[in-house]
Amino acid sequence: MELHQLEYVVAVAKFQSFSRAAAEINISQSSLSQQIKKLENELGIKLFDRTTRTVKMTNAGSAFLHHAQKILLEIKQSKSTIQEYLSVARGQIKLGVLPVIGHFRITSLLANFQKSFPGVKMEFREGECQQLMQMLMGSRINAAFISETEENPHIETYRLIKDHVVLVSNALHPLASKPTVEISDLAGEKLILAHPHSGLYKNFVKACAEAGFEPDILFHCNQVETQLEFVRENLGVTVLSSQVAARYPQHGLSVTKIVPEIPRRVSLVTLRDAHQDPALSIFIKFTQNWISDLKKNK
């Protein structure tokens, strides 16, 4: 059985005519008839009932047609996928990233992608969630890794990593001895929080509002290291994503889960209706597969 024979069967089935099928696929009618006959002999069964005026598929032919169409579609899709990969040889991606992406192993993802597709030029724009979304909406970047998303009909969101918020306090702080901390317990605490444009800040402030209070913010810090050093000095407490907190030395600090849980997510976002460049399409698929493999190996 050869691939072109499957194509011939599909063509004859489509036109119910050997002459019209032959004209469509640009071969002689006699060659087409010979190839169909050769295939029927190999299979040991007739695929078509022929008369001088009509050509109809047998029951076996109809069943064979279904599989032939499926095989041809798979081959077409395979070729399309290969062409897509070949087309990224000189692609370019402008990507928005959070300052803390390294704590979620996104830097490892980006390094693996670059090694797999060295011809793709990658440019990075670092910023907080709100800033990255503005860049994306203004088409200054092609995609962004963000940690907070709102419903937006213009945005395609690919959920990647789940996390939650934890309290980080001085090890001698009264809250440090608790197994968990109620969000309401933070109503009277001095808080050292991330930038107001960050997803973490928005998630935490929203949770405080739902608990019925406004957080007492001492000041904001862009750098996690600075937040933690102030906490070590017992100037106040802070909140971080658990995976971020886990990446820093905890000498003199205590990390406590907050209840009810304040969920955090890292997502890849793109513009929904924009024409998707082949390089970006490959990057999205690579990201989803990489995250899937990461979860399996945990």
Structural domain spans, the chain: 3-87, 88-160+266-296, 162-264
Task: Judge whether residue 103 has pLDDT over 90.
Answer: no
Architecture of domain 3-87: Orthogonal Bundle (1.10)
Two structure tokens written together for 52? 């001088």
Whether omega for the bond prior to residue 118 falls within 30 degrees of 0, making it cis, is no
122: pLDDT strictly greater than 80: yes
More confident residue, 68 or 231: 231
Task: Provide mean pLDDT across the span 144-161.
Answer: 87
Q: What is the pTM of this model?
A: 0.65
Average pLDDT, the chain: 89
- The average pLDDT across 187-213 equals 94
**Mean pLDDT throughout 196-202?**
91
Return d(Cα 290, Cα 87) in angstroms, integer.
21
DSSP state of 218: E
pLDDT confidence band for 55 (50 / 70 / 90): confident
Look at the chain and count its residues. Answer: 298
Q: Tokens representing 230?
A: 């102030």
Is it the case that residue 84 has pLDDT exceeding 70?
A: no
- What's the average model confidence in pLDDT over 75-93? 73
Residue 244 pLDDT exceeds 90: yes
Predicted confidence (pLDDT) per residue in 167-190, tens digit: 999 999 999 999 999 999 999 999
For residue 171, the model assigns a pLDDT of 95
Indicate if the pLDDT at residue 298 is higher than 80.
no
Instruction: Output the pLDDT for position 169.
Output: 97
| Closest C-alpha to 199, from 96, 95, 64 | 96
Is pLDDT of 113 > 80? yes
Q: Which residues contact 220 (CB under 8 A, 6 or more apart)?
A: 192, 193, 194, 195, 196, 201
Name the CATH topology of 88-160+266-296: D-Maltodextrin-Binding Protein; domain 2 (3.40.190)
Domains 3-87 and 162-264 share a fold: no
Q: What is the pLDDT of residue 256?
A: 97
Does the domain spanning 162-264 belong to CATH 3.40.190.290?
yes
Q: What is the 3-state secondary structure (H, E, C) of 29-85?
A: HHHHHHHHHHHHHHHCCCCEEECCCCEEECHHHHHHHHHHHHHHHHHHHHHHHHHHH
Q: What is the pLDDT of residue 77?
A: 81
